[in-house]
Amino acid sequence: MSEYINNTEKRKELLKKVIRQLHEGKTVDEVKAEFAALLEEVGPVEIAQIEQALIEEGFPEMEIKRLCDVHVAVFRESLDQQVPPEKQPGHPIHTFRAENEAAAKVLDELEEAIEALKESPTDPDRLRAARERLQRMQEFDKHYRRKEDLLFPYLERKGFTGPSTVMWAIHDDIRGGWKALDVLLEGGPGDDPEDFRMRIGGVFEPLATAIREMFYKEENILFPTAVEMLREEDWLAIRAQEPEIGYAYVEPGDQWPPGGVPAAPEPTAHPMPEEIAPPPAPEARALASVLLHLDIGTLTPEEVNRLLNALPIEITYVDKDDTVRYFNRPQERTFLRAPAIIGRKVQKCHPPASLHRVQRILDDFRAGKRDVAEFWIQMKGRFIHIRYFALRDEQGEYQGTLEVVQNVTEIRALEGERRLLDEEE
């Protein structure tokens, strides 16, 4: 039987057989003897799912209820050994906690390096060690990114919006501390080692305190609340989207979910306001072959998706109600976005410190004060051009905003002319 245990469909059928045999009169001990290996791994959610499947197949609901205690008796040994999902390697909360534990050690190592540098500010080896450990500490940003882009959106849908407002602001304070410390270490002590020592301490100490206090807030407030509020399907969706953002210091285990990591949902597959929700699966499949009649030409939805993803730019569409409705997935991306942001208010997708700028753009677009806003930044050696365009209908009424992000580093470096293909040169 062991070859079937990890096969999802076979496993379901075997579990159904367990319950059917109980209802046919077999004793608990008889069933246990036949299905011993399978019963070692059964969890409470799986039992509930199998009972529901039997009811949907016509098994009398009252009969399930009548022998409910018998079911529990058969599965009791497995249930008694069950670890709560959030404590199983692979569950997002387990991964978050493992990262915190690892990050605490990295922070301790950084603190040791900073203290050593303060004792001897002009020692190049100690300066190099402090910089290396700071770089290691900054990898923890992936932990914060997964909170901001995955965990927070699902909590917001339950009406729990506090963390995304407060914690995100603290994340940005920590990021600012990392950057300030990096600038100090990059510049070195210069001609005033004593001043350097004081400035290092002045930046690092509040930074370390903020990081450690965030550990406590997560472990004692955020994570317990999230476990209570989110459903299994929420955690499965979060788990499926995690790899794109990545992990800090650890890799998630494979004990949860039991059936393996699900495929990441498409951006449009996430919960959205009812008025813009996608059609049910059968209708969605039927629409896939429908031609979209555009101003010029016709395309299928698949062709539209393919074209948008082939663009050398990142685009995000926010509707007139400030709800994120779409983003494309080009090969090169500057800002990673998770499907969890679909259906989220755009204000919740930005750090609190920059929210006022985002809101001003939206307000100006709505009021007709402007149609374009643009910025450009330097990021990891690249020159990034960011533009926002107001979308209006034929009457000029505001219908939403299009964000366009483009890496123009190579474009800015172009000179002269080029009229031939590579192979023709």
Q: How confident is the model at residue 159 (pLDDT cuts 50, 70, 90)?
A: confident
Q: What is the CATH number of domain 270-412?
A: 3.30.450.20
Instruction: Decide if 63 contacts 23 (C-beta within 8 A).
Output: yes
- Please state which of the ranges 54-63, 199-208, 380-389 shows the lowest mean pLDDT: 54-63
Higher-confidence residue: 49 or 90? 90
Instruction: Decide if 16 contacts 54 (C-beta within 8 A).
Output: yes
What is the mean predicted confidence (pLDDT) over 109-113? Answer: 98
- Please state which of the ranges 80-89, 104-113, 339-348 shows the lowest mean pLDDT: 80-89
Instruction: Decide if 154 contacts 237 (C-beta within 8 A).
Output: yes
In the chain, domain spans: 2-82, 86-245, 270-412
Give burial (CB, 10 Å; 0-12/13-18/19+) of 388. buried
Task: Residue 319: name the closest of 354, 280, 366 by CA.
Answer: 366
Q: How confident is the model at residue 132 (pLDDT cuts 50, 70, 90)?
A: very high
Q: How confident is the model at residue 290 (pLDDT cuts 50, 70, 90)?
A: confident
**Percent with pLDDT over 90 in the chain:** 54
Q: CA separation (Å) from 118 to 125, 205, 402?
A: 13, 12, 49
Instruction: Decide if 199 contacts 184 (C-beta within 8 A).
Output: yes
The two domains 86-245 and 270-412 share their CATH topology (first three levels equal): no
DSSP state of 40: T
Q: How far apart are CA 151 and CA 235, in angstroms?
A: 9
pLDDT in tens, 145-156: 999 999 999 999
pLDDT number for residue 4:
40
pLDDT number for residue 191:
86
Q: How confident is the model at residue 235 (pLDDT cuts 50, 70, 90)?
A: very high
User: 86-245 falls under which CATH superfamily?
Assistant: nmb1532 protein domain like (1.20.120.520)
DSSP string, 240-302: HHHHHH--SS----SSSSTT-PPPPPPGGGS---GGGPPPPHHHHHHHTTPPEE-SSSEE-HH
DSSP state of 420: S
Is a pLDDT exceeding 60 seen at residue 20?
Answer: yes
Is a pLDDT exceeding 60 seen at residue 266?
Answer: yes
